[in-house]
Amino acid sequence: MKALVAGGAGFIGSHLVDALLAEGYEVVCVDNFFIGTRENIRHLEGEPRFTFYEQDLSDFDGTLAIFERERPDHVFHMAANSDIQASAEDPLIEYKNTYSTTFVLLECMRRTGVKKLFFASTSAVYGEQMGAEVGEEAVALKPISYYGGAKLGSEGIISAFTYMNDLQTLVFRFPNVIGPRLTHGVIFDFVKRLKADPSHLRILGDGRQSKPYIYVMDLVEAIVRFREVPVGVTLYNVGVESQTSVTRIGEIVCEKMGLGGIPFEYTGGRGGWKGDVPVFAYDLSRIHTAGWTAKMTSDEAVARTVEQVV
Amino acid sequence: MKALVAGGAGFIGSHLVDALLAEGYEVVCVDNFFIGTRENIRHLEGEPRFTFYEQDLSDFDGTLAIFERERPDHVFHMAANSDIQASAEDPLIEYKNTYSTTFVLLECMRRTGVKKLFFASTSAVYGEQMGAEVGEEAVALKPISYYGGAKLGSEGIISAFTYMNDLQTLVFRFPNVIGPRLTHGVIFDFVKRLKADPSHLRILGDGRQSKPYIYVMDLVEAIVRFREVPVGVTLYNVGVESQTSVTRIGEIVCEKMGLGGIPFEYTGGRGGWKGDVPVFAYDLSRIHTAGWTAKMTSDEAVARTVEQVV
């Protein structure tokens, strides 16, 4: 089996590349280094089952040439802008990197007859409507970030291509993912601020924003485990039941940096920034029933990641 | 008030332009004549409150220049590929004409501070899940056509832009629209076939595909009536409760053409073509409660349109 991993030099994508190689796949990794890095795939130099293309996946002709040359069996679409704060200032980032990459990959699959797809979607498609009762099918989708909007758009066009071309499509909607090779986010921000000035920690919002953080290895294990699905779209919420508040992240960072008694200064307000969903949790019973649960809790994932970053 | 009507030379768009002029608006009409025609707006030559730009709305720079020059108060986004059968052969049509036009218009609104938006969405976002019980909020959205997928994607990114920029957004999801200036579809096909060969009528599927057809004047009246909405997305299903089967359309066409006893030959199967939703109806109670119902039934709309086409 030959897998094409779109965004394979990125944070999650590069871990998926490692996992697919371990499963015996040939892997074609495509990335434009917009967020992904050469560092993330350097350890694969010389691996005979690994091929890399530097290519912007929103460019149709260049991407089609790779499909025609490589003829993959399975596409794992991990390419996207993952920095919601950045695109809040420039929404066209999401148009190009999140939505257009999806449409181009789907059309390349259609033209070259590729039938198997994994798509990395997000809890951000739900917007602010999340709650323990919110399952995959039961809810109107009202994203409040450009990222969530572009991912919902991707799901929409994936639904159409899947129906029209009898694709076998797996879609995971997952929340914040953390772990080795992470590039940005609240853990980074806190470590950076405390290294620059360990006298206090500035925290956006009221600190009670609370989210489930999933460890990247847990997520990648689920992708690999569920990758073969029947014709149609198979959709799972994937995450952890537990959550970690922003204040708790601050405490863990201080603890791991050996900083005791640092005062936390809150900017106030409900959310960290506009487009951020301050509190969420969603129904994971479908994937739990299918036999998968994350190994690490949200707090454990945060603590492990802080150790890597500090 | 100055309205920018995107796709204003198209079938529905040009009727909306007429209605907005009648309401006293200044109207800036933008169209690339992909499906729209000069014929549809010829009667407006010399109208001082009407301005026309020939512009591809998927081109950001050209579209932004129009926004900066005209500074509209209200955008009515009617631009899209409306020919689902055509894009089934070439999905990139939907990427360019249906999705990209939406993203470009939203970003132009954001950059120039336009707050009011109407968006022409579609019952196709529901896919095959429709039924009398299917209301605006209660259903997972699984489009089966590239058109429906691109429209759902548009709704997703509209949700995000509305939240992030405090837009006042009205979205109508409507089914087949017919009436004067219609350009394609089953009524046209039947008239054309019978003019070419009046000995029989070939019908795709089993003829029992059954849909609500709304008359374009009814739809445009609803757009104008509900155009002012509060901050956020206001979403309505808009349509007629009645439906017309494909066989019934054949009967009406034969009757209006004075052709009696023509045999109907069915190609068989449930749907007319892949991506077609063979039977649907949806819950209109929200807009009915708001005080609007269509004046014409589906059969009346079909009969009136056949008279215009024959």
As for the ipTM of the complex, it is: 0.89
Reported as a pLDDT band with limits 50, 70 and 90, residue A75 is very high
pLDDT of residue B265: 94
Distance from CA of B138 to the nearest CA of A (A): 6
Q: Is the dihedral of CA A151, A153, A155, A157 positive or negative?
A: negative
Give the whole-angstrom CA distance, residue A80 versus residue A147: 9
Q: B159–A127: do the CB atoms touch at under 8 Å?
A: yes
- Chain B, nearest residue to A85 by Cα: B164
Q: Which of A87, A92, A100, A103 is the best substitution to test chain B (most B C-beta atoms within 10 A)?
A: A103
Reported as a pLDDT band with limits 50, 70 and 90, residue A269 is confident
Reported as a pLDDT band with limits 50, 70 and 90, residue A281 is confident
Q: Is the dihedral of CA A107, A112, A113, A117 positive or negative?
A: negative
For residue B207, which of B280, B266, B274 has the smallest C-alpha distance?
B266
Query: Which residues in chain B are contacts of A153 at CB distance < 8 A?
Result: 99, 150, 152-154, 156-157
Distance from CA of A97 to the nearest CA of B (A): 13
pLDDT of residue A275: 65
Q: Write out pLDDT tens, residues A9-33.
A: 999 999 999 999 999 999 999 999 9
pLDDT at B87 over 90: yes
Give the whole-angstrom CA distance, residue A71 versus residue A7: 17
Bridge partners for A170 per DSSP: A118, A234
Q: Write out pLDDT tens, residues B238-273.
A: 999 999 999 999 999 999 999 988 899 998 877 666
What single string gives the DSSP state of each residue in B223-289?
HHHT----SEEEEEE---S--EEHHHHHHHHHHHTT--SPPEEE-BSSSSSTT---B-----HHHHH
A–B CB contacts, 8 A cutoff, strictly below: 149
pLDDT at A210 over 60: yes
DSSP 8-state assignment for residue A40: G
Residue owning tokens 């009969």: B303
Q: A149–B156: do the CB atoms touch at under 8 Å?
A: yes
For residue B9, which of B49, B53, B47, B46 has the smallest C-alpha distance?
B53
pLDDT of residue A272: 63
Identify whether the C-beta of residue B203 lies closer than 8 Å to the C-beta of residue B250: yes
3-class DSSP assignment, residue B58: coil
pTM (predicted TM-score): 0.92
Give the whole-angstrom CA distance, residue A276 versus residue B111: 21
3-class DSSP assignment, residue B273: coil
Q: B145–A154: do the CB atoms touch at under 8 Å?
A: no
Interhelix angle B146-165/A146-165, nearest 10 degrees: 170
